[in-house]
Chains A and B, each alone.
Chain A
Amino acid sequence: MTKTIVVTSGKGGVGKTTTSASIATGLAKRGFKTVVIDFDVGLRNLDLIMGCERRVVYDLVNLVNQEASLHQTLIKDKRIENLYILPASQTRDKDALTIEGIARVMHKLKKSEFDYIICDSPAGIEKGAKMALYFADEAIVTTNPEVSSVRDSDRILGILQSESKRSKMNEEPVKEHLLITRYNPARVKEGQMLSVDDIVDLLAIPLLGIIPESPSVLDCSNAGKPVILDDESAAGQAYSDAIDRLLGESKPHRFMEAPKKGFLSRLFG
């Protein structure tokens, strides 16, 4: 059974694409045949983060318009077996997408026996975002510990409940997961950021993971490498934990406390 997961947030710049890349990579690394689709038609970021921007020939819009085959459009990741990228078009806009067209693409992917389809949603609540979440079985709602981001996540959760295919067909509702990104325990302690408890209380959905703010996220993005592949970094480990939880394992949440400063960092920090 193919599972379709949308990574969404409402607000922009909170880490949807970073999350999509890492979740897809993490699932593929565990042996699941996974494709990650960039729904941000017109902007195209996912291929940069996945480090395959030079290999884009055809894109999602070509596939939707039946100008290219699935085989021609999918980009196979060079590092991870079982991982494929379906890039967005940079020359078109979101109006090029239709529910029927996306449905056809989804059907083809299911026939190709993908285990997971990860949909990287664009920001906002307009057509692009609605297209990305329409076919979702599960949703990873990405939120920064900050009031406006939480508010927008609440809004997108409402849209998931009313505009997804599952809601329209009266099926079991989309399974929701909360992923808090750019979490900085030190700033939470200072009262400059919302705490995990505040966010969970506000959104009232199960917590999938807390990704600490980490310089390695930017480093990896610049290098075209999903941060989950950086085993050394806290962010990479946190994404790895999130994958375990997504697959049904229960694991205690880490990175909620500020790291204790060691002797040297106290001396120089």
Chain B
Amino acid sequence: MSSNPGVELKGGMYTFMSLKLHTSDMDVIDAKLADKIQQAPTFFKDTPVVIDLTVLEKMESEINTLLLLECVRRHNLIPIVASTIDKSSPMAQSIALPLIDGGVSRSIKEKTSSNTAEGSSEKPDETASSTIDVSPDVDISLSREIEYVVKTPLVIDKPIRSGQQVYARDTDLIVMGPIGPGAEVIADNNIHVYGPLRGRALCGVSGNTSSRIFCQSLEAELVSVAGNYRMLETIPEELRGKPAMVWLDKDRLNIEPL
């Protein structure tokens, strides 16, 4: 066919696992990595990973990148690129991988997380289903990093009837009309409801604990944030039928008037 261009060079956004190093001790890295991978060997097998050196750079520590890559490959991960703040640092120069700028994405993330603190904006869903726990006492972490992409919210301008279910994958759900009793609205991010909310609303179903539900008239049978739910009976009487926000404070589901 004459319309076949042969090749195309295009920009694209892809999701990769990143290996963030919090230590330069190869023995610790080796042991922690083995421990992580043993939790889900098939999930990690032959997975491309971004080697994130930014924490080490901040700590001004050095690492033998040759040994590091060898260790990563031994665990059946495929290092594809290194993320650094300073491309001219000896560590960045020594690693046999292409480099990407780890400083830029960081500043975007810091900006968005401060927005979330104000309760107003989206946040990249770093805690998606496959996330491996990133507790501060762990020296290294394997976390699934999702590029910060502005995804259009799912907007429903018709009533959602009893028995209907709407799911906004990886994004916000905005419902203009009423949500009937027995209807279910689900989103990976925030849910905004401008009609009366009489059915069930579940936000952050893939684990986004910072997602919230905003509604004009709270009459829901059930509200849930990242799996923490409350039924209508436990919703204080004075909040029912009123504009309200539902959010998660640590493990406590809060409902506040707007």
Residues of A within 8 A of B (CB): 151-152, 154-155, 157-159, 161-162, 201-202, 204
A66 CB to closest chain B CB (Å) equals: 35
A/B interface sample: 23 pairs, CB < 8 A: A151-B182, A152-B162, A154-B162, A154-B180, A154-B181, A154-B182, A155-B161, A155-B162, A155-B180, A155-B182, A157-B159, A158-B160, A158-B161, A158-B164, A161-B158, A161-B161, A162-B164, A201-B196, A202-B178, A202-B180, A202-B198, A204-B159, A204-B177
Tell me the complex Cα distance, A158–B159, Å: 9
- Report if B6 contacts A (CB, 8 A): no
Q: What is the chain B residue whose CB lies nearest that of A205?
A: B159
A130 CB to closest chain B CB (Å) equals: 13
Tell me the complex Cα distance, A88–B229, Å: 48
- Report if B124 contacts A (CB, 8 A): no
Interface of B is mostly: loop
Tell me the complex Cα distance, A59–B195, Å: 45
Tell me the complex Cα distance, A98–B196, Å: 38
- Report if B5 contacts A (CB, 8 A): no
Tell me the complex Cα distance, A158–B181, Å: 12
B240 CB to closest chain A CB (Å) equals: 15
Residue among B159, B160, B161, B164 with most chain A CB within 10 A: B161
- Report if B163 contacts A (CB, 8 A): yes
Tell me the complex Cα distance, A188–B164, Å: 29
* Chain A neighbourhood of B183, CB < 8 A: 154, 158
Verify A204–B182 contact, CB threshold 8 A: no
**Which B44-67 residues have C-beta < 8 A from chain A?**
none
- Please pick, from B164, B178, B181, B195, the residue contacting A151 in the complex, using a CB distance under 8 A: B181
**Which B151-166 residues have C-beta < 8 A from chain A?**
158-164
Tell me the complex Cα distance, A106–B195, Å: 38
A12 CB to closest chain B CB (Å) equals: 17
Q: What is the chain A residue whose CB lies nearest that of B181?
A: A151
A168 CB to closest chain B CB (Å) equals: 16
Tell me the complex Cα distance, A154–B195, Å: 15
Verify B163–A158 contact, CB threshold 8 A: yes
- Please pick, from B158, B161, B196, the residue contacting A154 in the complex, using a CB distance under 8 A: B161
- Please pick, from B162, B164, B178, B181, the residue contacting A204 in the complex, using a CB distance under 8 A: B178
* Chain A neighbourhood of B162, CB < 8 A: 151-152, 154-155, 158
5 further contact pairs, Cβ within 8 A, besides A158-B163, A159-B163: A151-B180, A157-B161, A158-B160, A161-B158, A161-B161
B156 CB to closest chain A CB (Å) equals: 11
